[in-house]
Every structure is written in C-alpha cells, then in structure tokens.
C-alpha cells in the first residue's frame, strides 16, 4: 500500500470491504456452529472522517468504535442518534465525562480508578454504564489490561459499583503475522468468561466477548467473540500524520 493511498480516504471501497468482512464473519460462524446474529461487527472509525462513517452506516452498519474520548464525543454529536458508539481505547479519568451518556459500551476498563470515575459520572447522569473488563491475555508489557490471574478479583470489586454494568471481557491480542497464533489467547478469554459466569457474582454478566481485529477476527469468531472490532479491513489504513 502506497502513502498516497493512505492519505486519500475517498478511494476506499467501504461497501466492498464490508461485504468481504461480512462474508468472512458468516463463514467463521458456519465453521464453528455459531449464529451470525450472535456476533456484532463494530466498524472502528478512529481517525476517519464523518463522511466515511456515513458511507458505512448507509450499508447498514450501526456500531462504531473510537479510541479517543473527544473524537467519540464529536462524532456522536454530529451524526444520527441511531448509531451506537463503543469506547475501545485507553480512557483517562478526566475524559470519562465525554463518553458516559454517549457510548453504549466502554470496552477498556482496566483499573479501579477508572471504574470509580465511570461510576461517579454515571451516577451523576443517572444511568448505568455497560462496561467490559480489558484483559491482557498474552501478558504483554506494552499493553494495558488486567492480568488473567487477577481478573476475578477485579471483577468482584467493580461489581460493587451500582452504576457500572459489567457485561464481559475485551482483549487486544498480540500483533501477529499468523492469526492462528492468537487462537490460544481468544480461547483463554472465553474460558475466563465461562469460569466467572459460573460463579454467579451479583451485578456481573459475562455475555460479551470483545475480541478480534482486522488481522484475526475470523479466529476470534471461531473462539466465541460476540463483538469484533474491525478498522483497517473496512476503512483502509489509518494515517496519523494528517
Ligand atoms: C484500532 C483498534 C482496532 C481496529 O484495528 P484494525 O487492525 O485496524 O482492525 C481494534 N481494537 C482496538 C482496541 C483498536 O484500538
């Protein structure tokens, strides 16, 4: 892919890309005996203009992922209110206010301090904020997320926040050339969800598993993902310099 292609967002065939991603999700569901309606495709629109989001929405996509709180706020405010926004990136406590009341889900809860800030903001706005606990399944130093072995204890703590609704887990798997290498990590997250689900903790649901990106979403679907987060595969490469 050339640099000019990266810069020009207009020549990306979003409709064609969506057909391709959709077919691959469907086939992964068929291979693993899952129902297509149990997997939601989140189009990760970070850095991409509103016009490209409108193009995807015209193809029937309703779920969009953003990783910057102000960008999520601005796009939410500008676009039709039937779109559903997912906060998928690192969230600082002082920016929680931009997200609570706009996002349908925060995928990246990975510290007690952040959970407390979400609780406070959701209480002030009189709503319950659906959240996922981010787990660092591969134990990578560079990644945020709770360690697998600490996840249960963490879940039990955030279960005490009445305005935070724990819905499941999220992970960002390692960057790998061969997506098969991430199967073990997706399976580990699924196993964690099953284990914690069996404990029947009050105010804790583990129905949602947010895992799989452009490079590995088919494997994630085969291993039980209910939310896949696909950016590049829909909107093309991101350019952070423009
Ligand atoms: C950017 C991002 C994605 C999408 O990545 P692609 O490889 O472009 O599909 C998914 N999840 C998170 C948390 C991201 O930040």
Separation CA 74–CA 38 (nearest Å)? 29
Is 88's C-beta closer than 6 angstroms to any atom of ligand 1? Answer: yes
Per residue in 182-194, pLDDT tens?
A: 999 999 999 999 9
Nearest atom (ligand 1) to Cα of 229: 10
Is 9 among the domain residues? no
**So what's the pLDDT on residue 94?**
98
Q: Average pLDDT, stretch 41-58? A: 98
Q: Could you tell me which residues come within 8 angstroms of residue 60 by beta carbon, excluding any fewer than 6 positions away? A: none
Q: Domain total for the chain?
A: 1
Per residue in 125-140, pLDDT tens?
A: 999 999 999 999 999 9
Check if the beta carbon of residue 93 is closer than 8 Å to that of residue 131: no
Is 230's C-beta closer than 6 angstroms to any atom of ligand 1? Answer: yes
Separation CA 120–CA 242 (nearest Å)? 36
**So what's the pLDDT on residue 240?**
78
DSSP conformational letter for 64: E
Helix or strand (DSSP H, E) at 220: helix 217-222
Q: Which CATH number fits the domain that encloses residue 20?
A: 3.20.20.10
Parent domain of 180? 14-235
Separation CA 42–CA 98 (nearest Å)? 20
């Amino acid at each position: 892919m050339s640099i000019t292609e990266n810069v020009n967002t207009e020549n990306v065939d979003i409709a064609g890309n969506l057909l391709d991603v959709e077919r691959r999700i469907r086939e992964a569901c068929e291979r693993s005996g899952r129902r297509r309606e149990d997997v939601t495709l989140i189009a990760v629109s970070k850095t991409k203009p509103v016009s490209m989001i409108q193009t995807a929405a015209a193809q029937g996509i309703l779920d969009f992922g953003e990783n910057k709180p102000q960008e999520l706020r601005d796009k939410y405010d500008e676009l039709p209110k039937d779109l559903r926004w997912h906060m998928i990136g690192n969230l600082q406590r002082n920016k929680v206010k931009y997200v609570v009341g706009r996002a349908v889900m925060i995928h990246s809860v990975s510290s007690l301090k952040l959970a407390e800030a979400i609780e406070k903001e959701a209480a002030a706005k009189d709503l319950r904020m659906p959240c996922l606990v981010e787990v660092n399944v591969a134990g990578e130093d560079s990644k945020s997320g709770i360690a697998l072995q600490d996840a249960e204890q963490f879940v039990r703590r955030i279960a005490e926040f009445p305005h935070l609704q724990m819905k499941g887990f999220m992970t960002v798997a390692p960057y790998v050339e061969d997506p098969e290498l991430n199967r073990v990590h997706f399976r580990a997250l699924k196993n964690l969800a099953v284990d914690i689900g069996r404990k029947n903790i009050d105010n804790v649901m583990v129905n949602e598993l947010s895992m799989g990106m452009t490079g590995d979403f088919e494997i994630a679907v085969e291993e039980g993902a209910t939310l896949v987060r696909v950016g590049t595969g829909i909107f093309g490469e991101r350019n952070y310099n423009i």
